[in-house]
Amino acid sequence: MNTNRQERRLSDKVKKLSEIGELFELQLIIDDYLNQFGIKWIINEIIEALDCKQHNIPLINELLDFIFTRDSVKKNDTSINVIEDYLPKKQYKLIRLSAIKNITKLRPQKSSILLVQILNDKEESREIKLLILESLIHASFTNNDMEKFLNIFQEDDEEISLKAMDILEYHHHQVPVVTVQKELEKLLFSSNVKLKCKAIELLGLFGEIDIIERLYCISTLDFSEKSVQDSLNTMIKTLMSKPINILYIRPENFEYLTKKLFQSLNYDNVEQTRNSKDNGIDIIAYKKGFGLMENRKQCVVAQCKRYAKNKITRREIQELLNAMQNHGATEGYFITTSSFAPDAEELAVQNGHIILLDKVKLQLQLDRIFGVNKYCIVNHN
C-alpha cells in the first residue's frame, strides 16, 4: 500500500469520524498503522484531524483509548514514552485526557510520580485533577509519592477530597500509615460532614486501637449526629477486624497480656507489679520446684519493655539480674516488642537463668495463646 495514500486515508477517516461504524472500521486497521508508522505518527495524524471542526469528539476519545491499550503499545516502552510525553501538554487536551486515563495501566510504577506532580500544580484544571484521581487507582505508589499526593487535601473541594480518600483506601497497603493518619485527623476538624465522616471511617483502616480514645478527645466532633455515629461504628468494626497492635494498647493492657502468657505456661500466683521498689519488675510468678525442692515453689520474675525500635541493652539485662537476686528468683524473663543488643544476649547466655523473648518469639507466644491474627507487633514509624 502506498504510504502517502495510507497517510491521507487515516487523516481523512479521523476528520470524518462521525458514526460508530466508522470507528469500528478504523479499529480494524489500526494495528497495521501502528506496525508501519508507530504511535507518534498516529497521534500527529489525530492532532491534525482535531484542527478540523467536523468530527465527533467522543468517538475520537474512544479511538485514542483503543490505540493506547493495544498489545503492541503495552509491550513497547518507546510507545509508552510517547504517551507519557503528552501528560503535561495542556495544548493537546484530548490526547492528554486519554494519556492520563491509560498511563497507569501501561506503567503503574513510574506514572504515579508524574501524575502526582500534575495533581499538585495549582494552575491545573479541576477536570484534569478528577481524571488523575480516577487513573491513580491503577498506579503503584512509593512512600514519597504518597506523601506528595496528600497535598491534594489542601484543595477546598469536596469531590476531589472524597476521591483522594478513595485512593488512600484502595492503596492502604502502600501508604505511610502515620503520615496518612495525621492527614485524616486534620479532616476531623472540617466543617464538611461528608469529609469528616469519611475520615473517621478510614481511621479504622489506618489507625490502631488507641484512635478510639483520641477521637473522643476531639471536642469538634458531635457524637449526637447520626452520620458521625454511623461512621464511628464503621471505624470500630474495621479496627476490630484487624489484629490488635500491642504497640498501641495501654501499658497496663500490655502487662495483662504478659500475665496471660505466664498463666498459659502453667506458672502459679502470677501477679502484675507496679511497685517502684521492684527494680523495674513487671511480673512475679511461681513455679513448682523439682527434686529436693519439689515442695517449695520457686520465684520467677519478668521485665517487659514495649519498645518500637530501641534494642534492649546489656545494662537492662544486668538490672534484671539484680532484681532476680533481690527477689530470690531462680529464673528471669525479659520480654520486649523489639530486639536485644548482641552484648545483652551474651550476658543472658552467660548467666543461664534468663529467657529472652524478642518481637518474633513474643509474636509466636501471642499466636499460641490467643490464636493467629488476634494480636500483632507492627511499628509504623
> 255 pLDDT band (50/70/90 cuts)?
confident
Helices marked H in the chain: 3-15, 20-37, 39-50, 57-68, 71-74, 77-85, 93-106, 108-119, 126-135, 143-149, 158-170, 177-187, 193-206, 211-216, 226-240, 251-264, 314-327, 342-351, 359-370
Please indicate, yes or no, if residue 381 is contained in any of the structural domains. no
Q: Do residues 282 and 359 share a domain?
A: yes
Say what the pLDDT of residue 292 is: 46
Asked whether residue 312 falls in the same domain as residue 236, the answer is no
Among residues 243, 263, 293, the one where a domain terminates is 243
Q: How confident is the model at residue 369 (pLDDT cuts 50, 70, 90)?
A: very high
Residues 138 and 266 in one domain: no
**For residue 16, which amino acid is it?**
K
- How does pLDDT run across 51-71, given as a tens digit for each residue? 765 566 889 999 999 999 999
- Is the pLDDT assigned to residue 173 strictly greater than 90? no
> Per mean pLDDT, which range of 20-29, 159-168, 286-295 is the poorest?
286-295
Q: Are residues 54 and 201 in the same domain?
A: yes
Full residue range of the structural domain in which residue 23 is found? 3-243
Determine, yes or no, domain membership for 32: yes
Higher pLDDT, 278 or 93: 93
At which of 243, 269, 299 does a domain end? 243
One domain, residues 295 and 184: no
User: In angstroms, how far is CA 376 from the centroid of its own chain?
Assistant: 16
Q: Are residues 162 and 219 in the same domain?
A: yes
Whether 19 maps to a domain, the answer reads: yes
Q: In this predicted model, what pLDDT tens digit does every residue of 300-352 receive, in sequence order?
A: 999 999 998 899 999 999 999 999 999 999 999 999 999 999 999 999 999 99
Taking only the tens place, the pLDDT of each residue in 174-211 is 888 989 999 999 999 888 999 999 999 999 999 999 99
Whole-number pLDDT of residue 337: 95
Contacts of 141 (CB under 8 A, 6+ apart): 112, 149, 171, 174, 175
CB 84 within 8 A of CB 47: no
Residue 199: CA atoms inside 13 Å, Cβ hemisphere, count?
Answer: 23
Contact 195, 161 (CB under 8 A): yes
- What pLDDT is recorded for position 81? 95
Count of other CB atoms within 10 angstroms of residue 169: 14
How many structural domains compose the chain?
A: 2
Domain membership flag for residue 30? yes
Pair 183, 307 in one domain:
no
Q: Which pLDDT does position 294 carry in this prediction?
A: 58
CATH number for the domain that contains residue 46:
1.25.10
Q: CA separation (Å) from 286 to 87, 302, 323, 325, 369?
A: 69, 11, 15, 15, 19
Alpha carbon distance 350, 357 (integer Å): 16
Same structural domain, 324 and 207: no
**Is residue 236 domain-shared with residue 291, that is, in the same domain?**
no
Q: Which residues contact 250 (CB under 8 A, 6 or more apart)?
A: none
Task: Check whether residue 206 and residue 284 sit in a common domain.
Answer: no
Among 77-81, 262-266, 342-346, the least confident range = 262-266
183 and 301 assigned to the same domain: no
364: domain CATH number? 3.40.1350.10
Residue 94 falls within a domain, yes or no?
A: yes
Q: Which pLDDT belongs to residue 291? A: 46
Q: Please write the tens of the pLDDT for every residue from 18-56.
A: 888 889 988 999 999 999 999 999 999 898 888 765 566
Domain boundary, last residue among 197, 224, 243:
243
For residue 2, is pLDDT > 60?
A: no
Mean pLDDT of 220-226: 85
My answer on whether 111 and 172 are in the same domain is yes
306 contacts 336 by C-beta, under 8 angstroms: yes
